[in-house]
Structures are given as structure tokens and as C-alpha cells.
Structure 1
């Protein structure tokens, strides 16, 4: 017994020492790896693989742990554009090689990246692209290249835009579940799969219209980038002429059919590298660690508030929008005297109406404090996403942003038929007042309950209309005529008064600076992304 405590203490200290040594080794390896990446050779080529989802702000998605050996960060859109701008004036970077087969982000993000690449080309440096196969979106992005190379056994999946929507009403009818649906806005189509067996004429109209708009924007850009007529691009899509590499080449969709080793030979010849010598590629993630970005100067600040994801009441998770997370941020911005203007960057399909209203209110207080508020739209700024932005002094959108959807809906499932007839479960209820048990899926809604829910839906819709009418300086009747839950592209939205200007985030920042009357400024992005312990140490 006497030897127990000394042995226990020695063992305990040994475990602590082993843990400390292990942690030290991990940090040392990480720091050593970073130091190795802090220099790169002249005659380097920036290799871009832009297939994965790109958040608005760096790390605004769950990231892999350092222990897995995966990337420690997911670069945001603005950061990528800044890196492209830096590379354009970096003497060590001779050009860009795009290696994309498909992409996992929206069309407005794609357009912003394409515009960033076009700006890079103005420096006189080359951009080449290579793919085994191109998805439609990947092809659009890579069409900015000086030359496009495709695997001889590949193809280009260019065929236009289309959508197929599943409808569940018959299935739910069979299993005994009924949905009580309340909505305001004839074009508010989210509930259609639960109440119809096919698309309504309203939904067919809006879907056909915005798909045609997006197709036209794609055709215009492809025709410009590939130096083909728009009619030729339309014929290529109609005949699916990119389905094989040979046909893609015959139709001038690509410039050469190369295997990967032939691409390497081409790149060596372009760079003046001897046969067998290694091409000096640098990835975007590594370039992010070494690039010298143009430092922003000035004591004045412009706040960029990234509102990205679904709007969910009461949540504090990353990748979503909620009043719980954003009200404190917006209050701090309002009270920070160094912040002279605010850019609200919206990339959201919408969500909870109450949370949207609370965020809208705090943004109104920022405006009342005298700080200009400019909204910038990403892939989506629809429904609640448009709600929170509706009061902005100016709204800037990409032409292929999907926006509007000014409408409201509620859905309540009713499982009484399933429980009673299929399973044999029924409920017997006693209550002191008519609405005491709430709106339960285990009881049929009464006529009065349905009236109350429709009234509530209509009241929220009327408030939404009021917010948009006031913010956009439109009459109530005009607002109602363009609302109704209808989805618009950014290009159409500017025609009907929902958007002021076509452009990207940098255009919105410049507009905010102009409205605030400042020329020298720095930007600060919100929300701050929480870092794990090891990444904090490494980044220091």
C-alpha cells in the first residue's frame, strides 16, 4: 500500500509527459510543414481545382481535423478572388492551369470566379484548362481559358437547364398522412409536392422563365469566351454535340484532345522546361499561405456580414443564419465607431420568418445610426434571404442570382388516418379551451384552427410586403404584383425594382465606401469562425 501512491504519481506524470511530448511533435510537424510552404519557385503555375463547395467566408463549413491530414481550411469566395488578383501581379506566377470536371456550388459563385479569372487574363498571363470530362457548369467556368484541353475519351455535358420535381401527395394519401398547407403567394411552390400531383401553371411559368434567363446568361458567356455565335452554342446544346470528345473538338468546344502526359509536354514547352523536368505547380491552398495580398489601409472600416445558409430560429450552428448568432454581431457593428459602412452578403434560400424579422430590425437600426447598408447577393437571396436585405440602401446582385420568392407558407402533417385505419391507434382529448392542445398531428384540425393558421400566414405575408414596399420605395400594389412567392433572376429583378445594380461583392464594397464618403479603409468580415485549438496555434 505504501508503494501505491508513488507508483500512481509516477505513472500519472508519465502520461502527462507523453501527452505533452506528443502535442509538441504534432505542432512541430505542422509548423515545419508550413515553413516548407512559405517559399515557392519562380516560373510557377497556379493549379486550380475549384470543384468543391466554396463558402462565402473562409472556413464557414465544417473542416477536416488536423489529425486526419486533410485541409485545415476551406477558402471563401472573396479570398479566392483576392488570391487570383495577387497572382496576376506576382512575377513568380506565370499562369493558371484549371483542372475541373464538375463543380459543387451555384451559378452566381461560378460567374464571380469566371470574372475573377477574366481579370487575371488582363495581366497577359495564360490560363489553360484540362478535364477528363466537363459538366455543364465546369465547362462554363473553364471556357474563360486561352486553350481548353480534353481527354480523348471524355466529353462535355452541355445540354441546357432542366429540372424534375418529385411529388409525394399520392404516396402520403396511400399511407394515410395528410398535409394541412397554408400559403400566401400563387408562385410559392415549396408546398406543391405535398398538395399537388404535378407542377401548377404558376410554377411552370416561373421555372421556365428563370431557367431560360440562366440559359441565356450561360450562352452569352460561352459565346464570348469561345468566340462562337450564340446560335452555334444553342445548336450545340440542342444536338448534345459535346457528348464525345471528338464531337466537342469538331464543334470548337475545346481546342485539343490530350492525355495527361501530353498536357505535361505542352506545359513544359510553354514554360521552356526540358523534357523530364518537373513542372512547378502550386495549389491554391499553398498559395494562400505565401501570397502577398494588397494590404487594406485606413482606420475606417467596412463590415462585411456574411449571411449564408438557411435561416433557422434559435440556432447557433455554423453555416446557417439565425437571430441568436447575428443580433449580437449587428449590435456590435452598430456601436463600433470605426465601422463606417456595412455590406450584407446574402447567400440564402430563406427560412424562418420570425428570425428574418429580428435580423431585419437590427439592420434597420444600423441604417438609423447613419451607416450606409449595401446588400450583395450570391447564389440565392430568396424568401427570408430577400426579407433581411430588403431595407438596404442599395442592392447589388449577379445576373444569375435567384432572388425574390416573396411569399409565406406553413405545413402541418395530419397522421390520424395512418394511426386510426392502418395501425389502430386513436386519441381521446379533453381540454379547457378550444386551442389548448395546440396544432397536433394526431388530431384533425378544426375549421377554426385552419382559419387561424391561414390568418397568421396572411399576416406574415402582409408584413413581408410592407417591408419590401418600404425598403424598395414601391407602392403596396406594385410590390404585390412582383411578389406572390415568385422567383426571379438578378437580371429580371433589376427590371422590376427588387435590385439596383448588377455586380459582385467587390462592387458592393466600393459602393458602400462611396456612400460613406471614405477612400482609405479596411474590411472586417463577420461572423468570426471558431478555430480548433491546434489550428489556432498553427495560424499564430
Structure 2
């Protein structure tokens, strides 16, 4: 018995000591994390340096706060992320930096949208006007990677590598068959034959309307792709198209023969060329500074001698009610940012940067209201990124002027609602039944345990029609057109930027910086600084509130890989609440 108590006591003491040690270790880690947050990493740029442009990292709207990067539990992966605005800013600074002799670009499969890649590509072309070389090298180029690399002074490919050049294809994923097997019915209420966000849940293939619009804007995206390469490589778009159609680029030598690359080289040979560029012999290492570190060294804002400012408000992600996050457009958070910019007398103009496929119609209306009020006081310019569709278009419609890239996807002026019916799944497959009482005929409207009645469907359709009419009104007022004119190009129809200019949904083709310059001109400013809203979410706050979700998200992405996209789409279909103004599928260009 004495031995028993001895072992029990030893076990308890061991547990207590282990707990104390773990607590101390956790405390030390937390102190280290807290002390590291806010520290700016400064890198010394040496003379005769090469700027390393790694474009395989995720290119977002804004560079996130990476103070907790690399720790999965805190939402940080090992992959680097940079905002396209910081890429552009860094290339612009390097253009006149005497310490930078050139750029070494590495890109195989960029993680960025088409319009974002165009912004970065144009920044590379602008850097080249300094007559400093840009050297691109990769073992493998995807089509997006080659689109970026083709802007370089020299493009090199590994002798055993590959260059993808085959044309664009668009693939949509349809879930109706899976829903049928599960016994789930997606009950759809919508306005607009082209409002194809709902099609994956009710069809097994594209409707004729959707096929028509997808064919049109994929062709438009491809044309922008070909024109960029054509201008840089001095090859006609007809020749490029013929190469892709015949799949002529199969081996590295083919890419050289057809002048898509300037040489077939191993990396050591490219490094030797960079050494020559920086006056280094083969025994000395090259002084290289990454685009991330170089951008971090630069001032956050434009320098100015006065108080005048232009506010850039980033609206990125799905539009939702409430606060949202750095990857969502929360109606409260974005509205508060717009209101703050409007009421600040030092802010003379606002640039609304939109990259969103839309979301909640009500949240979009809330944000539109703040944009509309701001427009009455000071200039508001909208800059559309990769996508500014449906609710994403709604929130920018009131702007004085709308800038798009030729390959921006926009429009999709339409509304829909999805009310799932789980009756077959619950009753027939799982054996779960429901019973209850109600005080009114429509007390349980929107129930997901049974199909909609004709009366309920009529009520919801009226609500959707009303929201669509409001949407048309907002756009018509902002674009100075009639509702009938907007309806003729609405109905959920998706357009690329060049077509949006033609039909009046946008005003000018131009970059993010062009939009800022336009805002400055409209506000009659020559000397100003940029202030960014909303403030980035404090990583420590995210640590304390979202650690559990971050762990789940990190390992779900890691486990599912490319299939995470399908999981996310299914999840959205089930969880979307309320009436949506959204382009809710993700188009994958291959």
C-alpha cells in the first residue's frame, strides 16, 4: 500500500512539475512573439546587388503582417506572401537605386489573378526603362509564369525543363450529382439568366447563357495574354496563337526555336551571368536582396511636406455582414474605414480598391451607402483588381470614376438566393423526422427540413426582385444611365474590363497607381501621402481569438491540397445565408 501511494504521489508531482514547465515554456514563447510583433526587418542593401523577384509566392492585395508567420497554430504558414502594391513600389524604387544592378526573376506557377499579374508585369516593364536588365530563369514555366517572365530582358529555361503554352481553358465544377446522391435539393431563387453562380448546384453542365459569357471572357483574357507576350517577344499574336493551337512547345528546344526564350541554361550558368552583371568573379557570392526584404525597407507612404492625404481603402474577399477579416469585406469594418476617411479633413480623396466576387446583398448596400455619402464631399475613385463582380461591383458603382484592367472580371449585376432542402437526406437516408406547431402560415419560412411551398417561393422571389431593382437603381445612378440600360447589360452577365469600358460599366483602363493619380488630379493635389484603410488586424488579436480555426484551416488545406477549392465551394453552398449578390464559383484558367 505504501508503494502505491508513493507511485501516486510521484505521478501527481510529475504532472504538476510538467504543467509548470509547459506553462513557463508557453510564457517564454508568448513573450518572444509579443516582442517580435511590430519589429521591422531592415536589410542592408550592398552595392552591386541583384533584386530577387520571387513571384511564386502568393501575391495579395496587401502584404500581411508576418510577425507570426511560420507558426501554423497562429495562422502563419512557411510560404511567403507579398502585396502587389509592395512589388510595384519596390520595382519603382529599384529603378533609380544605384545599389541595384538588375533583377533576377524566378517564377514557375504564380499564385495570383490575371489582373494582378498584369499590374506586376507592367511594373517589370517600367523597371526595364532604367536599362537595368531583368533576367528570368525557371525549370518550368506555367502559362501564367511565362506571361510574367516574357516581360524580362532575357528569359532562360532549364535544358530538361518545360514551358507550357497551349491556350486557355475554363473548367467549372458542378455539384448537382453529389447533392442528388446525398438527397439534398438546392432551391434557387434568382434574377438574371446569366447569374450562373447557382448553376453548379442545379445543373451538371453549363447553361447556354453561361457558356456564351464564359466563352467571351475567356477569349478576352487570352487576347490580353497574347498581346502582352507579343509586344515583349516581338512575335505576332497570330503566330503565338498558332503555336498554342498546334501544341508546338513540347521540349525546351522548341521554346528556343520559336523564340519564346533567349537561351537554354542551367542555373549555374545563369548565376555566372548575374556575377558578371555585378562585377563578381566565380569564387564570390552574389549580393542578393529579396523583393520582400527590399519592400520592407521602403517608407510605408509617399513622402510629403503637407497634411494632404489620399486614402486607399482595400476591399478584398467575400462581402459579409459584421467585421469580417483581412480576407473578407466586413460591412461594419469597411464602412467604418470609409466613414473615417470621409470625415478626416486631411484626406482629400478616396481610392476604393476592390477585389471581390461579391457576397451579401445587404452588406453590399451598407458599404455602397458610405461610398455614396463620401462622393458628395470628396473625389472617390474605384480601382478594380482581378474580380469586381456582383456585390464587388455594387460597392464601387457610386464612385466618380472606375478603373479596370483589360483582364479584370466585372459586372455580374444580378441577385440570387439558395435555400437547401435536406428533407430527403434527413428523412429517407438518415431516418430523422420533424414535427412541430406554428402560429402563422409562414412562421417557418426558410426551413431547410422540407421543400418551399408555392407561397413561400413567391415571397422570396419578390424579395430577390426588389433587391435586384435596388441594385439596378444604384448602378444606374452611379453610371448616369437608365435602369433599362443597366438591365440590358445586367441579368448576371459577366464582362471583362475592355468590354466594361465599351458598355459603360467602367470608365478607363488603368492600373492601381493610375487610379491614385486620377484621385490626386481630381482633388487638385501635387503633394500628398497615402494612408491605407482598414487597419490590418492585429496578429496577436487573431492569435487569441482564432487559433482553433487557424489550426483547422491550416491542416485542412494541407490535407486536401488542390481539392481544398472543391471543399470550399461546397462549404459556401451550405453556409451562405440571405440574398446574395455574388459570382460564387471560382473560374480556373488552365
1:235 partnered with 2:223: no
Q: CA deviation at 1:63?
A: 5.6
Q: Is the 8 A contact 1:58 1:73 kept in 2?
A: no
Q: CA deviation at 1:246?
A: 1.6
Match of residue 469 from structure 2: 462
Instruction: Give 4+ residue runs of structure 1 displaced > 6 Å after superposition.
Output: 13-33, 66-73
1:271 partnered with 2:314: no
1:41 partnered with 2:22: no
Q: CA deviation at 1:39?
A: 1.9
1:388–1:277 distance in 2 versus 1, CA, 3 Å: same
Q: Is the 8 A contact 1:60 1:74 kept in 2?
A: no
Match of residue 154 from structure 1: 161
1:242–1:295 distance in 2 versus 1, CA, 3 Å: farther
**1:285-305 CA distance string (max 9 Å, x none):** 221243468624431111100
Q: CA deviation at 1:128?
A: 0.7
Q: CA deviation at 1:358?
A: 0.4
TM-score by length of 1: 0.90
1:349–1:24 distance in 2 versus 1, CA, 3 Å: closer
1:112 partnered with 2:112: no
Q: Is the 8 A contact 2:355 2:386 kept in 1?
A: yes
SS of 2:60's equivalent in the other structure is: coil
Length, aligned pairs only: 523
Q: Is the 8 A contact 2:157 2:261 kept in 1?
A: yes
1:518–1:153 distance in 2 versus 1, CA, 3 Å: same
TM-score by length of 2: 0.83
1:438–1:295 distance in 2 versus 1, CA, 3 Å: same
C-alpha separation in 1, matches of 2:540 and 2:395? 34
C-alpha separation in 1, matches of 2:288 and 2:51? 6
SS of 2:165's equivalent in the other structure is: coil
C-alpha separation in 2, matches of 1:514 and 1:472? 20
Greater alpha carbon shift after TM alignment, 421-430 vs 41-50: 421-430
SS of 1:75's equivalent in the other structure is: strand
Q: CA deviation at 1:33?
A: 10
User: Where do residues 63-102 of structure 1 align in structure 2 (5 Å cutoff)?
Assistant: 64=69, 74-102=81-109
User: Where do residues 310-329 of structure 1 align in structure 2 (5 Å cutoff)?
Assistant: 310-329=318-337
Match of residue 59 from structure 2: 54
Q: Is the 8 A contact 1:48 1:96 kept in 2?
A: yes
SS of 1:151's equivalent in the other structure is: strand
**1:189-239 CA distance string (max 9 Å, x none):** 011122222211100100000000011111111111111111111111112
SS of 1:181's equivalent in the other structure is: strand
Q: Which of 350, 359, 365 is equivalent to 2:367?
A: 359
1:133 partnered with 2:151: no
1:508 partnered with 2:515: yes
**1:49-72 CA distance string (max 9 Å, x none):** 011222212217996157999789
**1:241-271 CA distance string (max 9 Å, x none):** 2232121111111111111111112222333
Q: Is the 8 A contact 2:316 2:326 kept in 1?
A: no
Return 5+ residue gaps in structure 2 as ranges: 1-19, 543-590
SS of 1:288's equivalent in the other structure is: helix
C-alpha separation in 1, matches of 2:375 and 2:55? 37
C-alpha separation in 1, matches of 2:285 and 2:228? 35
Q: Is the 8 A contact 2:38 2:67 kept in 1?
A: no
C-alpha separation in 2, matches of 1:314 and 1:178? 29
Q: CA deviation at 1:339?
A: 0.8
Q: Is the 8 A contact 1:66 1:534 kept in 2?
A: no
1:250–1:93 distance in 2 versus 1, CA, 3 Å: same
C-alpha separation in 2, matches of 1:382 and 1:31? 35
Match of residue 6 from structure 1: none
Q: CA deviation at 1:27?
A: 8.7
User: Where do residues 113-512 of structure 1 align in structure 2 (5 Å cutoff)?
Assistant: 113-291=120-298, 295-368=303-376, 370-512=377-519
RMSD between superposed Cα atoms in Å: 2.9
1:231–1:198 distance in 2 versus 1, CA, 3 Å: same
Q: Is the 8 A contact 1:63 1:73 kept in 2?
A: no
Match of residue 10 from structure 1: none
Q: CA deviation at 1:425?
A: 2.8
Q: Is the 8 A contact 1:302 1:523 kept in 2?
A: yes
Q: Is the 8 A contact 1:167 1:194 kept in 2?
A: yes
**1:408-456 CA distance string (max 9 Å, x none):** 1101111212233333333233211011123111122111001111111
Q: CA deviation at 1:165?
A: 1.9
1:352–1:120 distance in 2 versus 1, CA, 3 Å: same
C-alpha separation in 2, matches of 1:27 and 1:451? 55
1:426–1:29 distance in 2 versus 1, CA, 3 Å: closer
